Structure 1
Amino acid sequence: MTYNIKYDNKNDTINNWNDRKESLVKLLLHYEPAIIGTQEALHHQVNYIDNALANFSYIGVGRDDGKQKGEYTAIHYNHTKFKLKTSNTFWLSKTPGKVSVGWDAAMERICTYGLFENLKTKEQFYVFNTHFDHMGKKARAKSAKLIYKKIKELNNTGLPLVLMGDLNLKPEEKPIQFLKKKLNDGKAVSQKPFYGPSGTFNGFNRNMNLDNRIDYIFVHDFQVLSYIHIDDRMENNKHISDHLPVLISLKKRD
């Protein structure tokens, strides 16, 4: 699952984190994803999710200092199903190894990845989770190419992998088309028909047409059994976040 959970903005009065967090955990417990990539979560939000989910651990750092400051692109994983072999975070910039702002981006942007081992089958796979800049057009294009370059460097044996996140790009835009040539768009190769609203951004507006798709899950060497956009409205018809979660069911290729 990929889910931009909206950072805890202390100026939010209507859609504040305290009013949303319990519903978010209920959604996660209901759908039971084994791996969750979140975007925008601050350190205390990451810890809240981690503490609420039994048998889960997480990887990731804050983008502002490489420690705990700023938004994470955390990967939460069920440690009874998967063993973490290695992990790291890099910045979407010309200097990915250190805290930095890339190209025309408005702020620091990062990608967190982990190499995991399935405890039952012993098969290994990579998961990458990222959040592209909302302002910088050049930054988004360069970020897509940088991440794919990192994928090739790290995954030189061709292991199965997942790339997910809030890319702040529509499907027809060039960076998405670039990624679709290198990886499989999970929605396009799902064995079951796609289910849910066509888009993923709702802006906390319950009346908005849900047709703006900017959150994605790409795969390599996985069978995609299903791909859904979850309408996350709570009992009061308000959205849990300003993005919908994207849930994918995967199987190792035969």
Structure 2
Amino acid sequence: MTAWFRVMTYNVRYDNPDDGEHRWSNRREGVADTIRFREPSLLGLQEPLEHQLSYLREQLPGYEWAGDPRVDGDSEGEYSPVAFDGRRFDLVETDTFWLSETPERAGSLGWDARHPRIVTWVRLRDRETGAVFVHANTHFSHDGPQARRHSARLLRERLDELTDDEPVIVTGDFNCVAGESPHETIVDPDAGRRTLSNAIDRSEHGHYGPETSVTDFEHLVPNRKIDHVFVTDDVEVRQHGVCTDLFAAERYPSDHFPVLAQVRLE
């Protein structure tokens, strides 16, 4: 059994010039500080562009990073990267696939989505115990309901192909709340060989924080917990929460809150 460690999923909001006072240059320190303060050993981000990811790499030197951008698989477009504590874990394998009918084709659009969407996954080895597990991180379409449904099915299928008996952790912005079709496909025990549960439902100490993970940078958007951590049965969950850290008076670092779970591999 491994020691406890923290897993975080965090949509950091892409660098949108129309965000005004909430543009990246005004809040990037808050994003880095939030991650640094919460000290996740395993981190899945959504939406950073190349220059945003470069900044976070510089500010968070203890992490190793993996992932490709969604537009061309080279340098263009948003990433869904995975970061992990390089003192705790060794990288065994990593890849990115697209949420589309042609998952290996970089930049491919899926179903009714207007933008390419991806899954970046890593296979990691715990240095102390030798335990090997898989962490997959993703960002489902915000505007394509059909794409979200198919993405959930494809994610389950690919996890079955990628893993045998290793524990699995899945993080991301799924653009759906519990009870909606994509979420229910992910946790459906009949949707694949592996069984996934939402960490909020497995947490020994329940849930901490609001029942939403979305903001408008200054206020909570109620009933929109669309950022999730999913785990297989061989991952124990002690805590789960939404981190509502302010980086300035009445201002949040992103239009999403980080979601954090404390886990260990059984």
| TM-score normalised by structure 2 residue count | 0.92
Matched AA of 1:244:
F
State the 1:87 CA deviation.
0.3
Matched AA of 2:256:
H
Describe the SS at the equivalent of 1:239.
coil
Question: Does residue 216 of the first structure (1) align with residue 228 of the second (2)?
Answer: yes
Question: Does residue 236 of the first structure (1) align with residue 244 of the second (2)?
Answer: no
Provide the rounded CA distance (Å) in 2 between the counterparts of 1:126 and 1:230: 24
State the 1:209 CA deviation.
4.3
- Tell me the C-alpha RMSD between the 2 structures: 1.0
Work out which structure has the larger RCO, using CA pairs closer than 8 Å and 6 or more positions apart in sequence: 2
Question: Does residue 134 of the first structure (1) align with residue 142 of the second (2)?
Answer: yes
* Pairing of 1:1-254 with structure 2 (within 5 A): 1-99=8-106, 100-155=108-163, 157-181=164-188, 182-206=195-219, 208-220=220-232, 221-253=234-266
Structure 1 spans left out of the alignment, 5+ residues:
none
Provide the rounded CA distance (Å) in 2 between the counterparts of 1:33 and 1:163: 15
Residue by residue over 1:85-111, the C-alpha shift from the partner in whole angstroms, topping out at 9 and shown as x without a partner, is 000000000000012000000110000
Provide the rounded CA distance (Å) in 1 between the counterparts of 2:155 and 2:265: 23
2:4 corresponds to which residue? Answer: none
State the 1:48 CA deviation.
1.0
Matched AA of 1:27:
T
Runs of 4+ in 1 over 4 A off after TM superposition: none
> Does the 8 A contact of 1:50 with 1:76 survive in 2?
no
Residue by residue over 1:118-140, the C-alpha shift from the partner in whole angstroms, topping out at 9 and shown as x without a partner, is 01111000000000001111100
Worse-matched range after superposition: 176-185 or 83-92: 176-185
Provide the rounded CA distance (Å) in 2 between the counterparts of 1:17 and 1:178: 34
Provide the rounded CA distance (Å) in 1 between the counterparts of 2:128 and 2:222: 38
Provide the rounded CA distance (Å) in 1 between the counterparts of 2:20 and 2:248: 18
Matched AA of 1:113:
W
Q: Check 1:186–1:121 CA distance in 2 against 1; reply closer, same or farther (3 A cut).
A: same
> Does the 8 A contact of 2:173 with 2:227 survive in 1?
yes
Matched AA of 1:72:
Y
Describe the SS at the equivalent of 1:115.
strand
Provide the rounded CA distance (Å) in 2 between the counterparts of 1:145 and 1:158: 20
Provide the rounded CA distance (Å) in 1 between the counterparts of 2:216 and 2:19: 13
> Does the 8 A contact of 2:91 with 2:123 survive in 1?
yes
> Does the 8 A contact of 1:4 with 1:245 survive in 2?
yes
Identity among equivalent positions (%) equals 34
Aligned length: 251
State the 1:205 CA deviation.
3.8
Provide the rounded CA distance (Å) in 2 between the counterparts of 1:11 and 1:176: 31
State the 1:24 CA deviation.
1.2
Matched AA of 1:243:
H
Provide the rounded CA distance (Å) in 1 between the counterparts of 2:40 and 2:88: 11
